[in-house]
Amino acid sequence: MSNNQILGRGINNYFAQSYQKLGAKRSYAWILYVTGLLVHIVATILFFYKKNKSTYSEKYEQQRANIIASGICDEWASEYREQELSKANFFNQKIDEQQLQTTIKQLIDKRINKEVEKQLLESNVEQKSYATYFSELLTKPSFLLVTFIPGIFMYAILILCSNPFVRFIVERIFQSLFVIAGVAILVFTILYISPFDPARNLLGVEATPAQIENFNKIHGLDQPYLVQLWHSLSGLFTFDLGNSLAGKEDITQSIMNKFPVTLEIALFSLVMAIIIAIPVGIISAVRPNSFLDYTFMLLALIGLSIPSFWQGLIFILTFSLKLQWLPATYNPNNWVSIVMPIVVLGTSITASIARMTRSSMLEVIHEDYIITARAKGLSGKTVILKHAIRNAMIPIITVIGLLFGGMLGGAAVTEKVFNISGIGSYIVDKQFIPDIPAILGGVVYIAITISIVNMVIDVLYAFFDPRIRSKMKQS
């Protein structure tokens, strides 16, 4: 056998095994059927055609004929006749002989089928399912060659989803699409039923009814709810958000200009929080109820309690106006101006991550495997860094993801204090009109970023916890 033939068989077996694994799940079975509809239509016709000529069908009919020829059906007929007569007498029902014969015939037929299936099962003769039949077709190189073009989407799914980690990511992407659509529908509905009138707010109180009507007609605000919702959703998923109601600015371009600033501040704040909070939480857990522990947790509690707008104003008064160390407002051309927004936004999340790290580490360091590692003579540093922190990271990662999502949506206060033209302040400015297309675009783009962050967090779960990784492979 040549190398090409071995490679061809390996590819066919790969597709057959992938189809058996994915086809076991009903959702994937339907997806594979729809994406390879033309291939499955032909395969289904062949399946039922060969099913009628299969060995199973022949043996089934043969066993059925043997049971009928044995004469046992007469005994069953007498037995069922007595049962039906007794039942009719008990309920004082009139007996229709023709109906009685029909009922007895149906009962005998069912019993024959059960006996045949029982005998075939005992003799290890099973009826081949469509999934098994299609998997066998995939092992044939000629079938794969002929059906590759019409079933290219099905084969692409088999290639992508055969790896458990890739399948996990693909599933999360589709789930994120549903989440984003749900967020868009919810936000649009809230804005639609809002008592604010965009036309009145933009045109002013002196606007005439004719002007308001013309404004609503131009922007499609006079159309029914479902029509407006459809236009908004179609625009979101085609990345054509149109123009805002105020200023006629291109919404997509505005978001692309403002969102990177918010994302940059959030990322730097998160990095600062992780660098500070995780070591602080570990030290507090390793030395519980010590002076360091009380000091760190007191600072964390203060950090959680300080309102961000108040902290921002204090920073401006102290470091900008009095000491004149840092600029009071953000300037994209001066990197020093981003320092205070990062510290203000990162203060509360640093405190939250530190407290969660301490709690998670305290739970882990008293586990049996930590005690065993210490009993084996491992140093305290090795036990903490190699065994404890790795197993304590799952709740910490969860908190980090939630806080990062909150920073993207909740950075509006910090942006307003430091005069940052980010996505948070953009949404706040637009919501009082309300500028429905602009708000919807901003919220959905934040939802997309949060969905990506959550997907990365789920992948990190598998990286840090081998039990989750094992479950992913088994599923």
In this structure, are residues 459 and 169 in contact, taking their beta carbons and an 8 Å threshold? yes
Question: Residue 255: is its pLDDT beyond 70?
Answer: yes
Question: Residue 242: is its pLDDT beyond 50?
Answer: yes
pLDDT at 211 (0 to 100): 78
pLDDT at 6 (0 to 100): 46
User: Mean pLDDT of all residues in the chain?
Assistant: 77
How does residue 318 score in pLDDT terms, banded at 50, 70 and 90? confident
Spell out the domains of the chain, with CATH numbers in brackets: 3-163 (no CATH), 251-432 (1.10.3720.10)
Q: Is the pTM of this model over 0.85?
A: no
DSSP string, 369-437: HHHHHHHTT--HHHIIIIIIHHHHHHHHHHHHHHHHHHHHHHTHHHHHHTT---HHHHHHHHHTTT-HH
Question: Residue 16: is its pLDDT beyond 60?
Answer: yes
Per mean pLDDT, which range of 23-27, 35-39, 256-260 is the poorest? Answer: 23-27
Q: What is the pLDDT of residues 146-179, one digit of tens each?
A: 888 888 888 888 777 777 777 777 777 788 888 8
| % of residues, the chain, pLDDT over 70 | 85
In this structure, are residues 282 and 359 in contact, taking their beta carbons and an 8 Å threshold? no
How does residue 474 score in pLDDT terms, banded at 50, 70 and 90? low
pLDDT at 450 (0 to 100): 79
Residues forming beta bridges with residue 139, ordered by sequence position:
none
pLDDT at 10 (0 to 100): 59
Q: How many CA atoms lie within 13 A of 249 on its CB side?
A: 15
Axis-axis angle for helices 466-474, 436-464 (nearest 10): 100
CA-closest candidate to residue 438, choices 241, 227, 222, 258: 241
Mean pLDDT, range 287-297, rounded to an integer: 83
Q: What is the pLDDT of residues 80-102, one digit of tens each?
A: 888 887 877 777 777 777 787 88
Residue 430, number of CB atoms within 10 A of its CB = 22
Between these two residues, 317 and 198, which has the higher pLDDT value? Answer: 317
Question: Residue 440: is its pLDDT beyond 70?
Answer: yes
Contacts of 414 (CB under 8 A, 6+ apart): 265, 308, 309, 312, 341, 344, 345, 420, 424
Q: What is the pLDDT of residues 330-344, one digit of tens each?
A: 777 788 888 888 888
pLDDT at 1 (0 to 100): 46
CA-closest candidate to residue 19, choices 146, 157, 125, 119: 157
pLDDT at 344 (0 to 100): 85
Question: Residue 206: is its pLDDT beyond 50?
Answer: yes
Between these two residues, 316 and 432, which has the higher pLDDT value? Answer: 316
Per mean pLDDT, which range of 56-60, 125-129, 212-216 is the poorest? Answer: 125-129
Residues forming beta bridges with residue 243, ordered by sequence position:
250
3-class secondary structure, 250: strand
Place of tokens 């309690």: 305
Question: Residue 7: is its pLDDT beyond 50?
Answer: no
Mean pLDDT, range 339-362, rounded to an integer: 85
